[in-house]
Structure 1
Amino acid sequence: MHTGLFHEIDFDADHKWSGHLSIPFSIDRSPYFQVKIPIFRIRNGAGPRVLLMAGNHGDEYEGEITLARLFRRLDPANMKGEVTILPFANLPAVMAARRRSPLDEGNLNRAFPGDPSGTPTFRLAHFLEHELFPRHDVIFDIHSGGTSMAHLPCALIERQGPPDMFARALGLMEGLGMPFAFVAENGAEAPTSMAAAARARAIGISGEFGSGGTVTPQTMALTARAVDRLLLALGIIEAPVLGPHVPIEGQTELLALESHAQAVFATRRGWFEPAVVVGARVRDGDVAGWYHDFERPEAPEEVLHFPAAGIVISQRLHTDCQSGDCLVQVGRPLTRDEVSGR
C-alpha cells in the first residue's frame, strides 16, 4: 500500500514499547525501501503527556545520546502519564552526520507544516505537526550548534500561543536549569518545530545544548539535567532518571534574538578570525573579529564589529567562509518584565 508514513503505535496501551515510523521512498538500491525512524513509548495510565525529540538536525548529538539512554532507564512502574521519545527524528541526516537529509536535502526544522505527498523530510514534518504533536501537552525538541557552529548552551522558546500557554512555557524553560535561555520571535507561521507545536496547541520548548558536532561532559550533564527536571516539573517522575546532577548555580539569564541585525554575515569569500569566545559580553561596536582574503594576502584584513551589545551566543567554527555565512550572533539581555510584557 502506498502511503506517506505509517506506524503501529498504540497510544492507549500501558507499556514500554519500541517501534518505527516508516516512510516509503524508492532508491536505486531498493525499490521498496522505507526510512525506518525509531520511536519509543512509555505509558503508565492517564497523566501528563510529553514528546521528547532530538536529531531534528543530524549532527547534533547531546539529545540523541540522552534520549536513547532515557528510554533504556525509564521504568513505567516509576512514572505516570506518557513519554514518547523520538531520538533520531531526521534519521537519514543522523546516519550521514549531516544537518540535512541526504535523501532529499531536507532540513526538518524548516519543513513544517510538511506535506503528506512530499519527500521523506516533508512527510515526517506533516506527521509530527498533524498527528503526533497534538497528542502531547509538551514538546521538547533538543538541538545543538551542529558541526559548523559554536553555540552558548541555552534553552529556547518561541513567543507563541495565548498568554497563559506562553507563561507556562516560560516557567518550564526556566525550570530546566540552563545558565541561559532566549525567547525567539519567529511568528506563528514559522516552519520550525516550535511553531508547529504551537499550531498543534502544545507547549514547545527547545534549545541549543552543545555545539561543534561533538559532545562534552559539560554539555551531556546539562542535557541530562534538563530532561530530568522537565519530567519532574510535569509530575511524570518523582526522582531523577538520568542523575544525580550537579546543583544549579544561579537563575537562568534571559536573552532576546529579535533581528538579523544582531548578527554579522559574510558578504564574500574569506577566512574568519574571531576576536572573542562564545559567552563573551560585548558592546555595540566592539571588534568581533577579522576577515582575511587568502586570494589577496597583500591586502589588509577587514575588521568586523559587533552590531549590537549583549552576549555572544553563537560563532562560526569553520574559518573558511562563503557569502551568506553567519559569522557571529549576539543575544540581547532581557528583564523578566520585558519577557512577560509588563
Structure 2
Amino acid sequence: MHTGLFHTFDLERDGKTLSHLGLPFSVDRSPYFQIKVPICVIRNGEGPSVLLMAGNHGDEYEGELSLARLIRRLDPTRMRGRVTILPLANTPAVLAARRCSPLDGGNLNRAFPGEAQGMPTQRLAHFLETELFPRHDVVFDIHSGGTSMAHLLCALIETNTDPSGHQAALSLMRRLGLPFGFVADNGPAAPTSMGAARRAGAIGLSGEFGGGGATTPESMAATEGAIDNLLLALGVTDAPVFQASQTPASPMRLLALSRQSQAIYAVRRGWFEPAKPLGALVAAGDVAGFLHDLERLDAPEEELRFAEDGVVLSHRLHTMCEAGDCLMQVAEVIA
C-alpha cells in the first residue's frame, strides 16, 4: 500500500479504456497520496502493438498535446492491434511545468531501468522497462527542447549492437517524415527510455519536435504528422488520424551524436550569444557563439568555436549560463 505501482487496466481488452497508474507517495497534505499517471489503451483485435508516450520531461508540450488529442480522436473500430498512450508520463513534472518531478526530483529519462521499491520516478521507470515496454513492438517517446533549449526538428534512435534490431529502428525512423534523424550512442546501460525499449526487446523511437516551453503550428504539425506516419507504417491505421491526407516523406538526413567534443559547455558564469542557427552546416574552427561577462564590462566577449564539423543540433535558449551548462551541440552528418 505504501510503495510499488498499482493499476487496473487490461491490455487485452478491446475498445478504449482510460485509466491511471497509481504510485503511492506520502506527502504532508495527504499521508496516503498516490501520484496518478493517466494511461489509455485502445485495442481492436490482433495486430501491431505500439506505446506512445510524452511528458517524459514535463516542459515539452508537443507530444503531450498531440497524444491527448489522439486519445479523443482514435476510434478503435478504425484501427487494428493496440495503441497504449501515456500522454503525461512524468505527471508531477507536467503539472508543475518542469523538466523533472517536483515531488522526488526525478528525471524520468535518466531513471531507467529504475527500482521497484525506489522513489516514484524510479518505480515508474522500472514498471515501464520490465512490464509495459516488453508487451509492445514499438515505443515512441516524444520530446522537445523544453524550456531552456532550442532543438533541430529530428527523429532519434539509439545504437543497437544487434544489426537486425538497428536496421529495423533505422527503417522505421525514416518513415516518420522528418527532415533529420540522428543516432545517439549512450551504451547498453543507457538510462533513457530508448535504452529501456531496446533492453525490453521493442523498437525504440524518439524525436525532438520543438523547444522553448511552447508550441507552434509547425511543431504541432510535425508531431502529429510523425504519429500518423508511424501508425500507418505499422499498419495500425489505414488513414491519417490528424491530417486530411498523408504527406509524402522527404529523404531524411542522418546525423550522429556520440562524442563529448560535439558539444560546447560553459566553464564559467556568463551570458551566451549563439552565432549559428539550428540546422546550419558548420566546420571545426567556425565561431559558434560568444560568452559575455556583464560583470566585467571592460572584458571583451569570448569567442566559442566548434571542435567538429557537422549540423547545429541544439543551442541553449536562456542567455545567462553557469559552468557546466551545455550551450550548443553539433551532430556529425553520416548520410
Q: TM-score range by the shorter chain?
A: over 0.9
Residue in 1 that maps onto 2:11: 11
Amino acid at match of 2:257: L
Preserved contact between residue 225 and residue 245 of structure 1 (Cα < 8 Å): no
More deviation, 153-162/93-102: 153-162
SS of the equivalent of 1:18 reads strand
Residue in 2 that maps onto 1:211: 211
Residue in 1 that maps onto 2:156: 156
Preserved contact between residue 44 and residue 81 of structure 2 (Cα < 8 Å): yes
Gaps of 5+ in 1: 336-342
Superposition pairs for residues 169-318 of structure 1, below 5 Å?
169-244=169-244, 247-248=247-248, 250-318=250-318
Residue in 2 that maps onto 1:124: 124
Structure 1 residue 220: deviation in Å?
A: 0.4
Amino acid at match of 1:94: V
Preserved contact between residue 180 and residue 255 of structure 2 (Cα < 8 Å): yes
Residue in 2 that maps onto 1:33: 33
- 1:197-245 CA distance string (max 9 Å, x none): 0110000000111111100000100000100000001000000001125
Residue in 2 that maps onto 1:51: 51
Amino acid at match of 1:103: L
Preserved contact between residue 285 and residue 305 of structure 1 (Cα < 8 Å): yes
Q: 1:279 to 1:245 in 2, by over 3 A?
A: farther
SS of the equivalent of 1:205 reads strand
Structure 1 residue 9: deviation in Å?
A: 1.2
Would you say 1:110 and 2:130 are equivalent positions? no
- 1:229-283 CA distance string (max 9 Å, x none): 0000100000000112573462011101011100110000000011111111111
Preserved contact between residue 109 and residue 193 of structure 1 (Cα < 8 Å): yes
CA distance in 2, matches of 1:327, 1:313: 11
How many residues get paired? 335
CA distance in 2, matches of 1:314, 1:244: 31
Gaps of 5+ in 2: none
Amino acid at match of 2:278: V
> Deviating runs (4+, > 4 A) in structure 1?
none
Q: 1:147 to 1:271 in 2, by over 3 A?
A: same
Preserved contact between residue 2 and residue 24 of structure 1 (Cα < 8 Å): yes
Residue in 2 that maps onto 1:75: 75
CA distance in 1, matches of 2:275, 2:228: 36
CA distance in 1, matches of 2:80, 2:285: 52
**TM-score relative to the length of structure 2:** 0.98
Preserved contact between residue 256 and residue 332 of structure 1 (Cα < 8 Å): yes
- 1:120-152 CA distance string (max 9 Å, x none): 110100000000001100000000000000000
CA distance in 1, matches of 2:98, 2:66: 19
Percent identity over the alignment is 64
Preserved contact between residue 221 and residue 245 of structure 1 (Cα < 8 Å): no
Amino acid at match of 1:136: H
Residue in 2 that maps onto 1:101: 101
Structure 1 residue 99: deviation in Å?
A: 0.4
Amino acid at match of 1:18: L
CA distance in 1, matches of 2:243, 2:267: 45
CA distance in 2, matches of 1:158, 1:30: 40
Structure 1 residue 2: deviation in Å?
A: 3.2
